Copies of this chain bind each other. A is one copy, B any other.
Amino acid sequence: MNEIERKFLVASEAFKKEAQNKAHIVQGFLNKDPQRTVRIRIKGNQGFITVKGKSNASGTSRFEWEKEIPVDEAEHLIAICEKGIIDKYRYEIKIGNHLFEVDEFLGDNQGLIIAEVELSSEGETFSKPAWLGKEVTGDIRYYNSQLSKHPFTEWS
């Protein structure tokens, strides 16, 4: 139930040409505390409830628990979430054996694009596409829970 992933800024929109999938995601938080984040997500016609714990020292691994739930239940749950709903497009891009999930944020986080790659171990290597920018793994400012409180367009 621990997820190992690395997170990067995205330097150009070239990734869009390589995307195999694009989905609209709306999500809110029942708790934004990085030690026990509770997220409600609607992705296309699916709903999810996800709990995340705190990360390890390197920021690569974090406890994660998720269940799919009906969209109408997710909508009721989003209605009682804290302020700061996240709205974004998610692109999926398979490169070699790895899936990159690239989030293009809308609304208060417009202008921010983040790529995540999930790994099976901390040391696993992967091919870096040219559009991948600076690594921000473990930087909690880029957690969606924190972007919901302190959106990108308000950063100084």
Contacts and interface: CB of A to CB of B under 8 A. Distances in A.
Interface string A68-89: 0100010011001110000000
Contact of A80 (B35, B73, B76): B35
Interface string A19-61: 0000000000011010110100000000001010110000000
A interface, over-half SS: strand
A152 to B, nearest CB: 24
A126 interface: no
Nearest to A63: B80
Contact of A30 (B51, B73, B76, B82): B51
A67 interface: yes
A149 to B, nearest CB: 15
**Chain A interface size, under 10 / 10 to 19 / 20 to 34 / 35 or more:** 20 to 34
A73 to B, nearest CB: 6
Given A36-B82, A49-B67, A54-B80, 20 more contacts: A1-B73, A30-B30, A30-B36, A30-B38, A30-B51, A31-B31, A31-B33, A31-B36, A31-B38, A36-B80, A36-B81, A38-B38, A49-B49, A51-B77, A51-B80, A53-B80, A63-B80, A65-B73, A65-B76, A65-B77
